[in-house]
Amino acid sequence: MLYRSTRVQENMVRASEAIIRGIASDGGLYVPEQFPKIDKSFDELSKMSYQEIAFYVLKKYFDDFSDEELKDCIYKAYDDKFETPEIAPLSYNAGVYFLELYHGKTLAFKDMALSILPHLLKTAAKKLNINKEIVILTATSGDTGKAALEGFADVEGTKIIVFYPKDGVSEIQKKQMTTQEGNNTFVVGIEGNFDDAQTGVKEIFNDSEFNKLLNEKGYLFSSANSINIGRLVPQIVYYVYTYAVLWGEKKIKNGESINIAVPTGNFGNILAAFYAKLMGVPIGKLICASNENKVLADFINTGIYDRRRDFFVTNSPSMDILISSNLERFLYEISGRDNKLITMLMEQLSKEGWYEINEEMKKKLECLYADFATEDETLSAVKKVQEDSHYLIDTHTAVAYEVYEKYKKSTGDETVTVIASTASPFKFAGSMNKALNFSDNTVSDFDIIDDMSKKYDIQIPKSIQSLKNKEIRHKVTCKKDEMKELIKKFLMM
């Protein structure tokens, strides 16, 4: 399996090199030369564990890893750090299946891929005889940062630097990151929004002079964002696993399609579902759910991507994004892999803040349905699901549920549907209280969490229990144009 850039047709690389680089030298994203097909029956897959399905899927993409190397990565990633043996359990409530992707250490779906990425990176570096220190550079809207920090903390031969919008994450998300232990971890609050952090990181990746300086000092940049193919491919696994579980439990018939609804900001999670569909998982409609930063919903409905709009800080902060990096990979596929067109569109987005795709590409958007949920609709969805099924969903999952309800109403489609439940309700306690009114709204999120646990008889996850009294270790903030200087300072360059 070889990987090519979405932009200039540079030389193709093997999986290990694509994982180490993170982003192609031309600024494009790595995509597989071709998509492998599922060649086992779902009857056979339904008898396999999450780890076994992970090996089956990842081996198709990362075939320059030996079986032993890949299994070592998988079994170190998906172990008892997850609070449920299924790793990603399915729960049927309020007429839909919720795929619970938040049982890892940081209580968000990012754990599903970021638990394995450090092991993949370390193995890839060894395979390629890289003796430089790998610097993981990441922007986060709240969840990727903590999951990456947790995965890379004290991993030999690495340093990790995370930039987050200092006023754009929940109290719990902020505490998770700023208390992170590990001598190789650095966390910085940006005076701006996620797009500022993400744009700054991309510019640093593409700064050839700065990268040359790093190289001379014995460092090599890589990424833990889903721009890294080593982060994206493990997300395909849980969609294959989900279909196999539904098949094994006889919830679907032979060859029956399912719909998948995903709360979407950077387009990585829903792209993984699209890739699973390309591999042969019978997926019908991909339901793209946006919050009030609805740049993706507008694009899917019009073919025009326009980030020149107001930015909203919402109660689903991990989706507060106006530049969706992984959309580039989707555009590459629906354009017939036209790298020159993708380069042109991305340059126009960078310079002018918008682009419009051609009519042929617009027709291929039909595999997607898109809408958005307001903040009030999001809170109402939390309340509705709790009242209907005594089941708690966080605000991001609630965005997807609300958009799924709109989809059903507009289409009448009763296809079995799975909602990607991307975070634990305990991460967004203040918003949960606004929706359900079970606690004093003047107290801290930690006090609200205690009340939520008692009221709904749900055990507080271990990682939250230990967070309250942890020492704040990372207090640095900066303006977006100071990121490069801070990196130099951290690396003592």
In a domain, 402, yes or no: yes
**Is the pLDDT reported for residue 10 higher than 80?**
no
**Is the pLDDT reported for residue 9 higher than 80?**
no
DSSP at 460 = P
**Residue (of 394, 238, 262, 395) closest to 330 by Cα position:** 262
CATH code of the domain containing 430: 3.40.50.1100
Phi, psi angle pair for 474, to nearest 5°: -120, 110
In a domain, 395, yes or no: yes
In a domain, 298, yes or no: yes
Count: domains in the chain: 1
| Under 8 Å between Cβ of 184 and 2 | no
Least-confidence region, from 6-10, 50-54, 389-393: 6-10
Residue 356: band (very low, low, confident or very high) from pLDDT cuts 50, 70, 90: very high
Question: What is the three-state SS of 365-384?
Answer: HHHEEEEECCHHHHHHHHHH
For the CA atoms of 195, 199, 202, 204, what is the dihedral angle to 10 degrees? -130
Q: Domain range holding 445?
A: 90-107+230-460
Task: Compute the chain's Rg from CA coordinates.
Answer: 21
Rounded to the nearest 10 degrees, the angle between the axes of helix 445-456 and helix 171-178 is 120
In a domain, 37, yes or no: no
Tokens of 184: 């190789």
**Is the pLDDT reported for residue 94 higher than 90?**
yes
Phi, psi angle pair for 169, to nearest 5°: -130, 165
- Number of neighbours of residue 297 by Cβ within 10 angstroms: 22
**Is the pLDDT reported for residue 471 higher than 80?**
yes
3-state secondary structure of 340: helix
Task: Return the sign of the alpha-carbon dihedral for residues 423, 167, 181, 469.
Answer: negative
In a domain, 326, yes or no: yes
**Rounded average pLDDT over 184-196:** 94
β-strand 13-14 against 2-5: which pairing, if any?
antiparallel
In a domain, 427, yes or no: yes
Q: Can you tell me the distance from the alpha carbon of 372 to that of 361, in angstroms, rounded to the nearest whole number?
A: 22
In a domain, 472, yes or no: no
Q: Can you tell me the distance from the alpha carbon of 87 to that of 80, in angstroms, rounded to the nearest whole number?
A: 9
| Under 8 Å between Cβ of 348 and 365 | no
Q: Can you tell me the distance from the alpha carbon of 268 to that of 327, in angstroms, rounded to the nearest whole number?
A: 8
The contacts of residue 458 (CB under 8 Å, 6+ apart) are: 392, 452
In a domain, 320, yes or no: yes
Phi, psi angle pair for 89, to nearest 5°: -70, 155
Tens of pLDDT, residues 100-119: 999 999 999 999 999 999 99
Residue 160: band (very low, low, confident or very high) from pLDDT cuts 50, 70, 90: very high
Tens of pLDDT, residues 253-302: 888 999 999 999 999 999 999 999 999 999 999 999 999 999 999 999 99
DSSP string, 171-206: HHHHHHHHT---TTEEEEEESS-HHHHHHHHHHHHT
Rounded to the nearest integer, the mean pLDDT of the chain is 95
Residue 223: band (very low, low, confident or very high) from pLDDT cuts 50, 70, 90: confident
Tens of pLDDT, residues 309-343: 999 999 999 999 999 999 999 999 999 999 999 99
